[in-house]
Amino acid sequence: MSNFVTSAKIDFETLTRLKQGDVHAFEVIFWEYNPRVYHFVYSLLCDKLLAEDLTQTVFLKIWERREMIDPAQPFEAYLFTIARHLAYKESERMLVASLSDLAEAASFTDEVALEDKLEADSLREYIQQLVDRLPVARREIFRLSREEHLSHKEIAERLHISEKTVETQLYRALRFLREELHKSSFLVLILLYGAMGKWN
């Protein structure tokens, strides 16, 4: 059975009451799906605190958008689409934060001699090397998104694939880059200071 079939416990009547603003109906849905949404988000981000926060955000959005819910449509598909989008956006935010941290580290001038700095060009080259390690199809999707600034829909149309495939491939690319940058951040700091002796 598909994961996106509305639970027997969350029937048409419950969704209709939720759509009408019934708080009890919302509570029923929250307790039915909260654990599953949490585990789904955690499987994408591998961060318990973030997964908890995003899970709460998912249900907040369900409540805020309750009037848009169609009780006749599969509710789980709607719920997990929101969860997936939020996880992807958070993954992208974390990557941008990682890049910002490295760029800030590379801009030190007062504490580090100019010749010991990791130049911005070197950082960009390193990131490009990481991008080049992506599988060909994933790299192309990433390039269209980041270099040509195409939307998910535009990428899907150009490559004749689904928008969900675009989202999944972008998420995996961003996750790979974030993890590699995280692993290399300590090395970057060592390079900035030139040698371990300068830490003393």
For residue 22, the model assigns a pLDDT of 93
For residue 94, the model assigns a pLDDT of 72
Residue 197, in any domain of the structure: yes
For residue 16, the model assigns a pLDDT of 94
Mean pLDDT (the chain, rounded): 77
- Flag whether pLDDT at 179 surpasses 80: no
> Is residue 8 located within the same domain as residue 37?
yes
For residue 1, the model assigns a pLDDT of 34
> Is residue 138 located within the same domain as residue 169?
yes
> Is residue 119 located within the same domain as residue 57?
no
Radius of gyration of the chain (CA): 22
pTM comes to: 0.57
pLDDT cut 70: percent of the chain above it: 71
Residue 123, in any domain of the structure: yes
For residue 47, the model assigns a pLDDT of 81
Instruction: Identify the domain containing residue 70 by its residue range.
Output: 1-92
CATH of the domain at 41: 1.10.1740.10
> Is residue 114 located within the same domain as residue 84?
no
**Range with the largest mean pLDDT of 44-58, 64-78, 95-109:** 64-78
Residue 98, in any domain of the structure: no
For residue 82, the model assigns a pLDDT of 92
For residue 192, the model assigns a pLDDT of 43
pLDDT classification of 163: cutoffs 50, 70, 90: confident
Residue 70, Ramachandran bin (φ over 0: left; ψ between -120 and 50: alpha; else beta): beta
- Ranking 55-69, 149-163, 174-188 by mean pLDDT, the lowest is 174-188
For residue 103, the model assigns a pLDDT of 53
> Is residue 3 located within the same domain as residue 72?
yes
Between 181 and 145, the more confident residue is 145
Euclidean distance between the first and the last CA atom of the chain, given in angstroms as a whole number: 61
For residue 9, the model assigns a pLDDT of 56
Helix (H) or strand (E) holding 112: none
Residue 100, in any domain of the structure: no
Residue 70, in any domain of the structure: yes
Q: Of 69, 92, 115, which marks where a domain is finished?
A: 92
> Is residue 56 located within the same domain as residue 12?
yes
Provide mean pLDDT across the span 92-101.
65
> Is residue 88 located within the same domain as residue 118?
no
- List, in order, residues 6 or more apart from 196 with CB less than 8 Å away: 190
How many domains are there within the chain?
2
